[in-house]
Structure formats: C-alpha cells, structure tokens
A and B are shown apart, each in its own frame.
Chain A
Amino acid sequence: MTTDEQVYTKYKDELMRFAAALVGPDDAADVVSTVVTRILAAGRSLGDFREPRAYLMRAVLNQARSHHRARRAVPAVIDPPLDPHAEVRPDVLAAVLELPVRQRAVTFLVYWGGMTAPEVGELLGAEPGTVRRYLHLARQKLEEVLDG
C-alpha cells in the first residue's frame, strides 16, 4: 500500500460525507475523485502535506464550489426520506441544499460533525468569527423556512 493510498483510505469516508453535504450524494464521488486525481496529476503526493486532512477538505470545498458554478442551473437534488416516520422535512432539506456552499460546509461540520467554530476554522482555513457568521446566516435562512 502506498502512502497516497494510506492517506486516501484514512480520509475517504469523511471526504465523501463532506462532499455529499456540499453537492449531494450523486456527485460526491466525482468531487472526491477529481480532487485526489488532480493532486496526483500535479505531481504531488498526498503524503506531502503537513495537514492532509485540512488540505483535502479545503480542496473538496473548492471543487464543490466549482461544481456549483458549472452546474448552477442544476441544483443538487436529494429525494426526501421514504420512511414516513422520518423526522426530516422535505422543505428543510431543500432549504439546506440551497444554502451557499460555504454556509453548507460550515453548518455540516458544526451540526453534523460536532466541531466547534475554531475547529472548523482551523480545518477550512477561516477565522472562527467567519465560521460563526456563516452559521448565523445559515440559521437565519433555515429559520425562515421553519417559521413559514
């Protein structure tokens, strides 16, 4: 097993979940594959980076933004849960999917990943205050849906 493969194996599931939260499950594999292939094609090894997890997460975030720019007319679609007892409201899910990519990334890492604002900031290379601002903006939008 190569170092590249070891690094990839270590982080691939986390990257996939993150990518799925940003672009939807259908395109997550494309985003992750593109990121890793591009790094290798540039002559880099995943083992080159001092903080490979942070590098890869930022790369996925950037690729997700490119993905959205390229497919602006086709937003990510996730079918609502089939389980009638599921607690996910389709309108809430739709609102989450319509958040700008950065807000979606930050809310995913905080609310699903259980990270704090400083931890998210360190991972994505943003100030904690910026992370909090994204959270606030995202919450405002979601509250509009919930209150509506």
Chain B
Amino acid sequence: MADTGTSFRRAYQAVVDRTPPAPGWEAIDAPPAPVRRPARRPVPRWVLAAAAAGLLLAVLGGGALLGLDGDPGPASTTPAAAVEAPPATGTPTPTAADAVAADPQPVPLAPRTARASSELSEDFKARYLIDGTPRAWNDDSLRGEGAVLTFWFAEPVDLDYIVIHNLTEPERFARNYRIAEFELLADGEPILVATVPDAPGPHPYDVGRRATEVTLGVLEVYPAEAFDGSPPFEELAVAEVEFQGSAPAP
C-alpha cells in the first residue's frame, strides 16, 4: 500500500493535470461591479425612532428568549479541524513537515477597544461588536456608506481568524443592511478583501497576521429589505466581530 504522502501527491497530480489554463488578463480586468446601494430616499425621523425602539425591544426580548432557550449568543466558529488536537500516530512521515508538534489552540482574543465610524445611538455602540452578547452595532442610518470598524488589542496578537457575525433573528437580519464585502487591514496594511455571504450568523475568514490594530472597511453592502410588511431600516448592522488566535510568547 502506498504511503499517505504518495497518495496525496498522486491525487493532487490528478487534479493539477485537469486544471485548465488560467484566465487571461483581459478576462480579469473587467470593470468592477457597481456598489449595490440603492438610491437614498428620505425617511421621517419618527420612523427611525420607532425602528430604534423596536430594535431595542427586539434585543431585550430576544435576549430574554435566548436566555430561556439556553442560546449562548454568537458562537465560536473556529473550524473543527483547528479545535481538536488529535494524538500523534506512528505513521511514517514522508517529509519533515509531517512531524506533529504540540501547538497552542486558537483562542478567542478580546480587543481592548472597538470604534466605529458612526453609531446609531447608545443602544447600538461599537462596543457591542466585542461584548459576546446578541446586542449589535448599527451605523448612524448611513446604509453602510463609508463604514469603518477599528479594533485595538492591548498587545500584538497573532490573528488566525476573524469571524463576522451577522444578526441571527430573521426579521432584524433582513431589515438591516448587511456587509457584503470588506477589506481588512492589520496595523494599516491591507491583508484581506473578502465577500460575506448574505446569511445570518457567523462567517469566518483566515487572517494569519500579527497585529495590534485591526481595521475593517466596508466596501459593499446588501440592501435592507421589508419583512412581513415592516419597512427596511436604514442601518448597517453587525452583531459581533470575533477574533481567534494567540498572544505571542513574550
């Protein structure tokens, strides 16, 4: 029987053998898609106030319900593969890289501070992005326009993943704007541009960078929608931004 390394190589060779040529530059250099932001229309202040009050009630009510149901809130989404450290086996190792070493598990990293380019009110502050509760951040009725979230850690951390948590409650999810695409900067250097699926709950992204300051710039949003006859809100909403990784050894 072939060893696992040889089997991997053969399997990947089969994949590579069937890989078509890369797209030409002409195919890549297409005009960028327009930002999906509908035209702004005026909204009476009383609607915003009612919406904010409704959201607050939903948060409080939802929190109570979640408490009754035992829902832990935004879940840790470290991939299972990264969570479990299995025991080493005696399998022969085809390369030195195969030696299984003890490795610290990625752990939740708590930023010291979170700041947003705007906030709807005291009930939707940026700090709710990192508080581990169902409370959410909302921008100040800007539909995500120019939204930037910045997080500071007390000391440099090795970030493995960032997890963007969309709202989970269907009505709140639908009636708010959601992040569709974002750029991530670590200590001011761009490290990631990624798409967020338009779905409730957590969405993890590999980061793999040491940083003290992490900036998330919103590039594109999904539009808010009416839900069961209730009108859409004007706010971009994010329930939580979770960081996983480790603090560097001193």
**B15 to A16, Cβ gap below 8 A?**
no
What is the minimal beta-carbon distance from B150 to any residue of chain A, in angstroms?
18
The reply to whether the CB of B88 lies closer than 8 angstroms to some CB of chain A is yes
Interface of chain B, helix or strand or loop or mixed?
A: mixed
Residue of A nearest to B159 (CB): A125
Assess A25 versus B20: contact at CB under 8 Å? Given A5-B25, A58-B208, A134-B81. yes
Which segment of B28-36, B45-53, B131-139, B225-233 sits at the interface? B28-36
Contact of B16 among A20, A62, A120 (CB under 8 A): A20
In the complex, which of the residues B11, B94, B99, B160 has the most CB atoms of chain A within 10 Å of its own CB atom? B11
- Interface residue tally for chain B (C-beta within 8 Å): 71
Interface contact A124-B100, CB-CB below 8 Å: no
Q: Which residues of A contact B16 (CB under 8 A)?
A: 17, 20-21, 112
* Minimum CB–CB distance for B108 against chain A, Å: 16
User: Number of residue pairs across A and B with beta carbons under 8 Å?
Assistant: 214
Distance of B94 from chain A, by nearest CB (Å): 8
Q: How far is the CA of A147 from the CA of B106 in the complex (A)?
A: 31
Chain B residues near A66 (CB-CB < 8 A): 194-195, 197
Bound Cα distance A118, B197 (Å): 31
Please name all residues of chain B whose beta carbon is closer than 8 Å to the beta carbon of A4 when the two chains form the complex.
29
Contact flags (1/0) for A124-148 with B, using CB distance below 8 Å? 1111111111111111101100110
| Contacting residues, chain A, for B219 (C-beta < 8 A) | 41-42
**Supplied contacts A21-B12, A65-B205, 11 more A-B pairs, CB within 8 Å:** A12-B22, A12-B23, A25-B20, A49-B190, A112-B16, A125-B206, A129-B103, A135-B98, A137-B86, A142-B7, A143-B89
